[in-house]
Amino acid sequence: MNMTDKEQARLKRKACELAAQIHDIVEERLWQDYRQLPNLCQRLIDNIEAVTQGAKSDASLEVRAQHLD
């Protein structure tokens, strides 16, 4: 998965927004909104994994390109 900088930035921004939502629930509304946490946490994990997998793929492509020179 070759990810552009713009795509990576979008996923990182979304991950930060999800983390902020989780923080707000934990700090302010835990007893009312705790049922939202599993879904929000899974979405956060999915975003982080997409960013890290994209970064690994990009690094791997760079290494392969250097060997071609």
Distance CA 56, CA 46 (A): 15
Copy the structure tokens of residue 30.
Answer: 């835990």
| Residue pLDDT, tens place only, 21-52 | 999 999 999 999 999 999 999 999 999 999 99
Q: Are 60 and 3 in contact, with CB atoms under 8 Å apart?
A: no
Three-state secondary-structure class, residue 55: helix
Both tokens of residue 3?
A: 């990810």
Per-residue confidence band for 55, with pLDDT thresholds at 50, 70 and 90: confident
> Rounded to whole angstroms, how far apart are CA atoms 57 and 25?
34
The count of other CB atoms within 10 Å of the CB of residue 3 is: 17
* Residue % of the chain over a pLDDT of 90: 68
